[in-house]
A and B are shown apart, each in its own frame.
Chain A
């Protein structure tokens, strides 16, 4: 009995922390219809600024909180001013991609400054527990509750009684009308980003103190949790975000009580997927709203693809095909093999995100499904490696499509959230389903690549194998784009309402796109598994999803040749310039940001 009270208190406290993140997300969504994927990064920055303040400057607690709030607010203002304001009049995909890029840049900067190792963040509060009913409560719990309630009150007063607060609410209701009435929307955005960042930063500080540990992996988790809470409460709904957060805290806490700690995140993401499927407007959404206004062709930048003559493609393909016949180093071949594997993933993502407009952030999950299937087929059932890889592709196509199908009715940002969550679910299931996946130990001793009984061990043979597989997948995809399916996919991307009015079923065509794309990604993962000979639940992570997305944007959305060119560029250029591994993700993030700002159609243009 007492433990249940403890779990309830714990759930409410954690929920309070989520609320600080979720309220910021809700405010930002309210005024700019944007899900700020960088919110978790601000939370991370807040935690590390708090660490500097507490451990190095020995600031007293109230001052620590103020320092963190102010510093985080400044970060928020910088993001708004330099990251998002220039994109105000651009297509809807641009700010979405920009916040993803900003998030990666911030996370990497923190990681490079403080190293990825976890650090202790002492709470500066006496370590006592008070008996409350049957449970206990500590001063830190009271502090978190106090900060949560105080911020809620301050926010309420600000929104209700200050002039700027009115402007925020007016902008949230009708941006155009507010602008016509003289509301300075830039100031509103600034205010909202500042407040959201301050709350997010303080939240990071409190969580760090609560667990007495901070590390750079906190960021993505916080974004996900905040987004879950916000979506559960109804995007843009500030009180809804608070209730959603408390609910999420309780669900997690009770889930942990029943099933154990390693399942904590699984409940959060399952809650998200269930809410997205059953009540995509959140638990507290009002009755059905008027159907959304046309958003014709505004999701991606209109552009004409750069036409590359067929002979040029043939010459390039031939040149890469005969490359191993020349005395090139093992290192060059190794780099290009990586580029071909990434190329397959990028082909998959460019179809899904570019051609049919479902910006997937969980694409690495498709790699993982393909890799585990292929590895287990060859190890447990002695399936020949070539067939096992095809099996991996098919499993990825089938399972990936089935997992993603609940999100087929969603649009824009919601698809990205849902795919991000599904990616996390796949990784958590791999971690926890020990009887099949061997859990955290991973799978070792995966047989090497082989074809018709011959092992492909030499770099040259692996190079040819992966190159040919990628070229075949690219040719098939090109053929697909030239068929009625290509135009159907693109029509759904440009305007799903008009597409439905002409008889295109979204479920059917999104499924077909994911089946085709899932196969390509699964094959890439399968090949990788046999190449690496060891995989675990972290081999295929969100960083790879983001890298693939950067490749796709770089090459041009939906552009098959662009996906391959982008892969070679992003794998090859860091090698050419000998950029150290830890700086690469930072550079990918910056490349993504620059592209979104200056060349949204990518190098070769949108197809």
Chain B
């Protein structure tokens, strides 16, 4: 029982095939509450596909996903978001025509209560009615969430606050990544999946982002991180998982994984090591 509570996310034999290609191949993974685990690996290793399987955007062909002890395999992304799983996207999926404020408010959607009463069948109609009538409780809820959004945006210093009413399409690439993370935080997630949060950022911005992720971890948030910048991975992770061609090829503390010959091979490329093997055979 105690163990179940400390294990936030556990994957068993998770597998996803696309035609002849096995994008994710029998992955096992355990993530304890408050831990930060990083997944690294070359492009095409299956990291993002794994995220899609965990967050319900794609369904596995085999295997199981458990979240806080419950089987959540194949549940819809809406259900999982309501359950407290938030993610960011590798290529950035902000809502281009929505303001920064509205983007982050969408993150808080699953926490709307006053305007979204949990009434079966006529719930959606009530929601429409309440949205049009806007009684005091609904206005208060909206006001409270807006204040919360400002507090979340303040975590990014002066990057987003001055642009709060600007449409997201007008933001820089780095700022769009920040909006994504702010949107994920607005969900008040119990599990946060970050897909390359520093992609396309310069060293200063990367350091800033690293500081923010460290803060989130210090606050006790459970985080699964995909990242290419090893410096950041080594500094933040409790454990590192290395994927290549869909398979987990190494797992352990950062320093150990870093020296693993299989990991070096995956990063330097199979061609090189293949050639080395041929040479040694000759």
Contact = CB atoms under 8 A, between A and B. Distances in A.
A512 B18 CA distance: 35
A310 interface: no
A303, A480, A498, A501 pick with most chain B CB within 10 angstroms: A501
Interface of B: 18-19, 23, 49, 52, 55-59, 76-78, 81-82, 86-87, 89, 91-98, 102-103, 105-107, 109-110, 112, 115, 124-125, 127-128, 131-132, 134, 142, 167-170, 183, 187
Contacts of A508: 124
A476 interface: yes
A491 B92 contact: no
A290 B24 CA distance: 12
Contact of B98 (A293, A494, A497): A494
Given A291-B52, A296-B92, A491-B95, A302 B169 contact: yes
B82 A503 contact: yes
Interface in A502-523: 502-505, 508, 511-512, 515-516
Contacts of A300: 97
A498 B56 CA distance: 12
A505 B112 CA distance: 14
A286 B17 CA distance: 13
Nearest to B186: A502
Nearest to A500: B77
A487 B96 contact: no
B55, B58, B96 pick with most chain A CB within 10 angstroms: B96
A606 B97 contact: yes
A494 B132 contact: no
B77 A286 contact: no
A294 interface: yes
A61 interface: no
A490 interface: yes
A288 B18 CA distance: 7
Given A290-B18, A294-B92, A503 B81 contact: yes
B139 to A, nearest CB: 10
Contacts of B115: 483-484
Contacts of A287: 19
Contacts of B82: 503
A304 interface: yes
A180 interface: no
B140 to A, nearest CB: 13
B110 to A, nearest CB: 4
A230 B134 CA distance: 46
B57 A500 contact: yes
B109 A488 contact: yes
A192 to B, nearest CB: 26
A291, A303, A483, A504 pick with most chain B CB within 10 angstroms: A483
B91 A293 contact: yes
A495 interface: yes
A143 B56 CA distance: 52
Given A291-B52, A294-B91, A502-B187, A491 B77 contact: no
A491 B98 contact: yes
Contacts of B98: 487, 490-491, 494
Interface string A471-502: 00000100110011101101101110111111
B18 A289 contact: yes
A440 interface: no
Contacts of A499: 95, 106
Give 4 nearest A-B pairs by CB, closest first.
A297-B96, A503-B81, A483-B131, A503-B110
B96 A494 contact: yes
